[in-house]
Structure 1
């Protein structure tokens, strides 16, 4: 999840475009059931970007937090990404494209905080205690939260979605074993799960509250709001104390730049676009594919151990995504 992760949950970095959310006071009722549409090649292309790029952001986050404070580094990345994206929107479409109503401003602020502070920010924090591959695999619980939220809103997901969620939860249980056995710090595992809940609520609500029609405008404001939130939390935690800029490694700078450009501007924007163009249950499948990419990269570059819980849990969640994807395609 990376870090709207560097994402990772987060984003996760990741910085991928964020999904608009319904006010917490009461999730909006589900829209009338619509005939299912054929999934276009553009949707599959955007999904491929989110799958691969966000999967790599977990590795980027792990490298960044080696010599940078978690929330302050995430805040800097999201704020800068938001400013760059806003500048691009103004350049291509004019300043009028950045105008918001008060209701829209409140919505993008809420979504940005849920996705980038609660989602990606917590993932960045968790990766100071758990391996990047395990963090990515734990994000598999996202589709389970999404289905629960859809049920609360009055929707009825197909049987394939329930089966996929069940497999995802089984995989999540297996992946939690390293924390329960003491092989990793349990608090880091719990923080990742909390991050997935924040991300799921933000994604689910995004299509149910007044969000700017332009997904790039929405993403810019969401990243800016999330970045400010991360920075404030970082200062509140005292991350600035003892931090010396000159002691940041070259690897951390390169990883931060990668998360900014690819995790936030490219993948996050693709994610925001998908939230308005594809079924949410299909978009949420990134949580199943990202871990596979993250585990492979973590093993190759960070020598993270591929233990049996990670291998088995990863296989189970991949099976879950196949069920969900096949269900959506039949629509």
Structure 2
């Protein structure tokens, strides 16, 4: 679910440091970078501030490698909503989300131990607890609920609803006593209007309103996880923090799936080849490759350039849903989506200037 200073998510929703969720993104998905004081998405624990982690933006060269990494983040995180939609066609939603992040967390742990030694995975109980809590908010709450919602909600609509995470981040920051500024509040008002338009298919009965509201709750939990990650003591290494967030969120998803009885009558042999393929894609590309590409971007490119994924991912998700799954591009989706993306642009640009 991956972000500079305090990015909210992809599809796979993105938190204070990179954890593609796809939704969230998908994560949630992976969302737009909205700086939160003391923060370290994407889409997950505590990462060093962009200023401390890399040279001043003016000295960064935009190389071919930067554009390649940006393309990966654009396309892969934008496609996680499509991947989730394909997975939940034949795999129960919480078991799918839980197994995805449990597998990704174990793979990332192996990579961290291989690159930096097993000691890099050590963290005290307090930081482990914080990482686990953030992981439950981002991955179980954000990504898990997006998986559940996409059993009835089109992937493109889910992506646009999740794109409003920066709106919720501003409101949560205000609730904790911060004052983001008039530009951010203007973005909130515009974003709320966009969300109202996007809920029309649910209110009209065209799409189940329960699924639409589930995505809204998922985005709110992703925003809460993003803000919390900036205020809790987290493991110093953001990759280590992401490992424990993925593991906690993955185990939480499997536990919720079992409590919901998703295992009853579930036959792995009946899972379609497309669902297996989409799940593998989400694990390897959505939760590892794009995650690594985004983390590298934060150190190698201007933050303003890396932040553009927040505007592009929803557009990619909507186009892929229409082209591959034949999802209808209705006027509420097009108009509401445009309003939400405009609100995100206003909030992010205002926060960046501040």
TM-score, normalized by length of structure 1? 0.85
Q: Does 1:19 align with 2:44?
A: yes
Q: 1:2 corresponds to which residue?
A: 11
8 Å contact from structure 1 (residues 51, 289) kept in 2 = yes
Q: CA deviation at 1:276?
A: 11
- Alignment partners' CA distance in 1, 2:261 and 2:253: 12
1:74 matched residue in structure 2? 97
Note if 1:94 corresponds to 2:117: yes
Aligned-residue offset at 1:232: 0.4
**Matching residue of 1:257:** 280
- 1:330 and 1:53 map into 2 onto residues whose CA distance is 28
In structure 1, the partner of 2:181 is: 158
Between the aligned partners of 2:304 and 2:121, the Cα distance in structure 1 is 29
Q: 2:201 aligns with which of 153, 158, 178?
A: 178
Aligned partners of 1:18 and 1:269 also within 8 Å: no
Matched, 1:117 2:126: no
Give 1:23-102 correspondences, 5 Å limit: 49-102=72-125
Structure 1 pair 237–10 and aligned structure 2 pair: CA distance change class (3 A):
farther
CA distance in 2 between counterparts of 1:153 and 1:275 reads 27
Match of 1:233 in 2: 256
Q: Deviations over 1:200-234 (max 9, x none)?
A: 01011112111111111111110010000000011
**2:166 aligned with 1:143, yes or no?**
yes
Report the CA distance between 1:11 and its aligned residue.
3.2
What CA distance in whole angstroms lies between the structure 2 residues aligned with 1:323 and 1:222? Answer: 30
Ranges in structure 1 where 5+ consecutive residues have no aligned partner: 22-36
232-241 vs 113-122, which moves further: 232-241
Q: C-alpha separation between the residues in 2 aligned to 1:252 and 1:236? A: 23
Q: Report the Cα offset of residue 155 of structure 1.
A: 2.3
- How far off its partner does 1:134 sit? 0.6
Equivalent position of 2:332 in the other structure: 309
Q: Which runs of 5+ in 2 are unaligned?
A: 1-9, 13-18, 31-40, 47-55
Q: 1:272 to 1:328 in 2, by over 3 A?
A: same
Q: Using structure 2 for the length normalisation, give the TM-score.
A: 0.80
CA shift at 1:14, angstroms?
A: 5.2
Deviation at 1:265, TM superposition (A): 1.4
Query: 1-side partners of 2:188 and 2:305: how far apart?
Result: 12
- Asked if the contact 1:5–1:263 (Cα under 8 Å) also holds between the matched residues in 2, the reply is yes
- Give yes or no for contact 1:137–1:314 (8 Å, CA) kept in 2: yes
Determine helix, strand or coil for the equivalent of 2:263.
coil
Aligned equivalents of 1:268, 1:163: Cα separation in 2: 31
The alpha-carbon distance between structure 1 residues 114 and 274, as it changes in their structure 2 partners (threshold 3 A), is farther
